[in-house]
Structure 1
Amino acid sequence: MMKLILGSASRSRRQILSEMGYQFTVLSADIDEEIRIEKPEELVVALAHEKANAILTKMVKNGMMQDIVESQETTLLITADKVVIHDGVIRKKPTTSEGARKFIQGYSQSHASTIGSVLVTNMKSCVRMEGWDKSEVYFHKIPDEVIDSLIEEGSVFYVAGGLLVEHPLTSPLVESIVGTMDSVMGLPKELTEKLIKASLQES
């Protein structure tokens, strides 16, 4: 007896959670992602907690929590965050065309690492389970015309580092991935499954 809420507007995360065989509802929250934490592992975990806090606050204000607490079903809230590390620098979502172009051009020259967090909040027991995962992506040279098309389309502005490994234009240019595709896309399946099972034990 379990209900899942995915606290993310990310299409990639929705796709991955569906692939895992789960049915879920989607809620999202706008937060200030300018938290200044130097270690990327700590940063993505902190941001996942901030997202959970914002969603829970919204649910309380909307009167949605009482039914969840009183229900015989356990409701789990999944929040996540991801950053890209390139040449030792944390990259979040690009905000300008120039910034996106610089990001993508750089991936032809040296590999990118992704560090992503998953936080599962048991809304009945209030217990939270957290973890993070890391992958590396190596690209062949990314042609300028591909970069132009990605920027014009606009998808790069909605993902950390403008890194789109699953996009039809960039997937043929991926040389190798050390880790898993789902981790690079923002929701590592193995970690998510592990945290869901651990959270259910806290019901």
Structure 2
Amino acid sequence: MDETPKTDPLGGGGSSLSSQPDVELQVQPRPKPCSLPIVLGSSSGYRRRIMDSLGWEFSTASPDVDEKAIRDPDPRKMCAEIARAKARALAERLDKPAVLITADQVCLFDEGHGRGEEVREKPESVEEAKAFLRSYSCRSVKTLSALCVTNLDNGRAAEGVHESTVAWREISPAVVDDVIARGNVMGSAGGFALEEPGLRSLVDKIEGSVDSVLGLPVELLCTLVERATCDVT
């Protein structure tokens, strides 16, 4: 597995923040790295927006995978395996040749007290979503974004996991209630979304990149697409 450290230079893709009161996605258009059609195997609006920002032509497909059935004590391996399973689920029903991009994301939160890091996926209830948000107040949470890029023409695959960390200012009970009432965070790993109006101004700092926190780390994506299609002109 190729792993891109969170301290890697971001170049023109993504953005790093330091004590800024707002969060904006900043992705510059890139030349398409290959001649093959590109399929984004995801229903995430955030990932589609990042792909649009790159300027690549692509289609979308939604994988049908029971993510909860894929478990591993190592959260990095687990989200990578889920991304891989999504690729397997889509590969048989997509036209070839094509480049398939699949992804998964989990969050890690350390509550302290020697308990270690808790793996957090999409909240399963409103109560769990509220608990997640309350716990982030004046604390930090990590995001692990796994990508699997598969060349459906020859079966070559490249994958990796990118880590970022979001540090939060105080999140008041009123903000938690307002955010949950809007419902936008229920489909997000860790139960938060940077572009949620009630949360974006409460981000204190991001180590890594905004695109990674949103689920599609651009630098890693470009590297993996090139690796999976290096013999394609």
TM-score (norm 2): 0.79
> Is the Cα contact below 8 Å between 1:83 and 1:116 reproduced in 2?
yes
Q: Distance in 2 between matches of 1:200 and 1:36?
A: 30
Structure 2 unaligned blocks of 5 or more: 1-34, 111-116
Flag the structure with higher helix content: 1
Cα distance in 2, alignment partners of residues 29 and 184 from structure 1: 21
Deviation at 1:145, TM superposition (A): 1.9
- Partner-residue secondary structure (3-state), 1:157: coil
Q: Which residue of 1 aligns with 2:64?
A: 30
8 Å Cα contact 1:80-1:117 kept in structure 2: yes
How far apart in 1 are the matches of 2:88 and 2:71?
Answer: 18
Please identify runs of 4+ aligned residues in structure 1 that moved more than 2 A. none
1:186 aligns with 2:220: no
1:202 positional shift? 4.1
Segment of structure 1 superposing worse, 163-172 or 43-52:
163-172
Partner in structure 2 of residue 81 of structure 1: 104
Task: Name the counterpart of 2:170.
Answer: 141
Identify unmatched segments of 5+ residues in structure 1: 70-74
The answer to whether the Cα contact below 8 Å between 2:139 and 2:169 also exists between their aligned partners in 1 is no
* Aligned-partner Cα distance in 2 for 1:130–1:36: 18
One-letter amino acid matched to 2:208:
G
In percent, how many aligned pairs have the same letter? 35
Aligned length: 191
What's the CA shift for 1:109?
Answer: 4.1
TM-score by length of 1: 0.90
Residue-by-residue CA offset, 1:102-159 (whole Å, 9 max, x unaligned): 0001111421000111110001011110011000000001122221122111111101
Q: Relative CO higher for 1 or 2, CA cutoff 8 Å, sep ≥ 6?
A: 2
Instruction: Say if 1:122 and 1:202, in contact at 8 Å, map to a contact too.
Output: no
Any conservation in 1 of the 2:40–2:102 contact (CA below 8 Å)? yes
SS at the partner of 2:37? strand
Map of 1:89-168 to 2, 5 A cutoff?
Answer: 89-168=118-197
RMSD over aligned CA atoms reads 1.2
Q: Deviations over 1:67-97 (max 9, x none)?
A: x24xxxxx10000000010110000000111
